[in-house]
Amino acid sequence: MITWKEFTISRLRNDNSQSLDYFEQKDWRQLDHSDKSLWQQGLKQFAKLHNELIEVIQQQKDGLLSQRVNDRKYDFRKLLYGISEHDVYHLGQIAYIRKMLQK
């Protein structure tokens, strides 16, 4: 979720310094699961990026929605719908797993 939020922010800022390959390679990177602070770090980073995404979106003009996203064959409207759906999907998975662990 964090990686694709970073991708979305970078493309909204027209920052193409990181290639699509960069984000794809970060997508399923290995994490040190022995680090007990990992969950809290992830939550903080997600919240920071979520707020940053909102700020970046608020700075855009409506015309951006019909512009094509660099490295993609679709426009920003689809990207923004997609990042929202992506977050909802994974947040649902997280909520389900957390509920199952409480039993």
Is residue 30 domain-resident? Answer: no
Is residue 53 domain-resident? Answer: yes
pTM for the model:
0.89
Is residue 19 domain-resident? Answer: no
Is residue 25 domain-resident? Answer: no
CA distances (Å), origin 41, targets 29, 35, 37, 60, 62: 16, 10, 6, 29, 33
In the numeric block, which tokens belong to residue 95?
Answer: 């909520």
- Backbone dihedral region of 14: left (phi > 0), alpha (psi from -120 to 50 degrees) or beta? left
CA distance 61 to 100: 43
Residue 103 has pLDDT above 80, yes or no: no
Structural domain boundaries enclosing 8: 2-14+39-102
- Residue range 22-39, pLDDT digits in tens: 999 998 888 888 999 999
- Residue range 41-81, pLDDT digits in tens: 999 999 999 999 999 999 999 999 999 999 899 999 999 99
Residues in the chain: 103
- Specify the pLDDT at position 56: 98
Residue 90 has pLDDT above 80, yes or no: yes
Is residue 26 domain-resident? Answer: no
Count the domains in the chain: 1
